[in-house]
Structures are given as structure tokens and as C-alpha cells.
Amino acid sequence: MPAVAAAAGPTGHYRESASGATVVFSTCPYGDWTPTSPTQCDDWEVTYASMSVANGGGPVSPNAPFRSFYQHTVTLVTPTDATGLTLEYGESSPVTGTYDAPKLRFASFAATSVPLTTVDLVTGQTTPNSGTVDLGAFNWTAAGPIVRFGNDGPLGGLPGDYRDRCVTLNSNSNQKLAGASVTGSVNGIDIATRILPPPAPGAPADAHGVIFSAWYRVTFVPHHCT
């Protein structure tokens, strides 16, 4: 492998903060599950969050508005493989809601409509403004302790330190989350009628949602890649 040369570009900085609550639900079981015949699985994610990104330096905004985020994927699952069929996603304009930043004990948002973009995962075709989804009021109530993670947390992250001939990267993150009971509806259908995931670490069996707070800091130095 060629030796790493002097840096070919300036040091880059990326910062992100995210606070809010989320829940996933499905028409298919979670965990180690294999259907006996081809089965269509619908999976949803609803998130209420304030997110701020500073790419290239500078602080993140402490006052980013809370929005509702929605994602729905359709997958054909067989006894031997899985094929993604469609993906639709969107985010709302700022919404009315609550969030317990100091203790992560509760979060909620009022009913809202979210414009959608649809992606055909077979052909790759994207259709903006493909419709809307109506989210009913969602409420999260913490039922477990706050659990803390670093780069290895369930909210995602990068390796703490990474180096190859093209880049040197240093990443740090701090993730806090609490398992929470959650209520809500999508297009008038109660999420309790869907299959909900296992609880977060330390939370009781009926705590299918998560209230979270996280920040990420990444520094990277590009090198000559020859």
C-alpha cells in the first residue's frame, strides 16, 4: 500500500445535534423471522425531532424547530431473500409539540399532514409530491431509565478513529435514550394494530418507542490518494 502523503485538502468539521422521539412498527414480526411463503412487509417509522447540522465549522443551532418525519417501506420477503419494492418519505413544516429536554420523560406532537416523495426501489424512479400522509397526534411517555452510549449507540455513528491512505477521521458522539410507551395513528390507523418492536434497553415490554438526545462531532483530513 502506498504511504500516506501530506494532506491534500483542509481539515473538515461536521457537527450535528438531534433531540426528539421515534417509533417503528410493521406488518411483519421483528427479530429472527422467516416466512414460509412470499410475504409483503410494510415498515413504518415516525419521528418527532429537532435537528441541526453545521458542516464546515461553526456551532449547531440551539433553536432548530421540531418537525415530524415519516418513512414507509414495502419489502417482499421470501424464505430465502428480501427485495425492496417501494419507499416513501417526508417531513412536515414545524409542528406544535412538547419535549422534555432535561429528563427525557415525555414528547408529543399535534396531528399534521406530511408531503411525500416516493421511490420505486426496483427501477430507482423518484416521484416528488406524490401525496400526503396524515399523522394523528403522537405521544411518548418514558417507561425506562436513561441509557447512555457513545459511537456504538443505536442512533448511529462512525468509528471513533479511522485512517487509510485517503483520509484520517476522528468521530465522537454522545447518545442518550429512554424507552417509552407511545400512542399515535397514521391515516387514521392506530399504530397499536401493527406489530411493534422489542423495548429499548432497560425498558418494560410495552415500551416500544424511544425518547432521545444525541450529538455528533466529526473531524476529517483528506490525503493524496495515489
- Whole-number CA gyration radius for the chain: 20
- Residue-level pLDDT at 2: 24
> What is the spatial distance between Cα 214 and Cα 3, in angstroms, rounded to a whole number?
36
* Cα-based distances in Å from 92 to 6, 52, 135: 45, 15, 10
- Residue-level pLDDT at 23: 97
Domain ranges of the chain: 16-222
Using an 8 Å Cβ cutoff, are 108 and 100 in contact?
Answer: no
- Residue-level pLDDT at 13: 74
- Burial readout 112-150 (b: 16 or more C-beta within 10 A, e: otherwise): bebebebbeeeeeeeeeeeeebebbebbbbbbbebbebe
Q: Of 216, 220, 221, 222, nearest to 54 (Cα)?
A: 216
Condensed to tens digits (0 to 9), the pLDDT of residues 145-203 reads 998 887 666 666 566 677 777 877 777 778 899 999 999 999 999 999 999 999 987 89
Residue 25 pLDDT > 80, yes or no? Answer: yes
Burial (CB count within 10 angstroms: exposed 0-12, middle 13-18, buried 19+), residue 211 = buried
> What's the whole-number mean pLDDT along residues 118-127?
92
Task: Give the confidence band of 52 by pLDDT, cuts at 50, 70, 90.
Answer: confident
Task: Provide φ and ψ at 192, rounded to 5°.
Answer: -65, -15
> What's the whole-number mean pLDDT along residues 59-71?
89
Neighbouring-strand partners of residue 50? 19, 66
pTM above 0.75, yes or no: yes
Residue 63 pLDDT > 70, yes or no? Answer: yes
209/13: higher pLDDT? 209
Average pLDDT score, the chain: 87
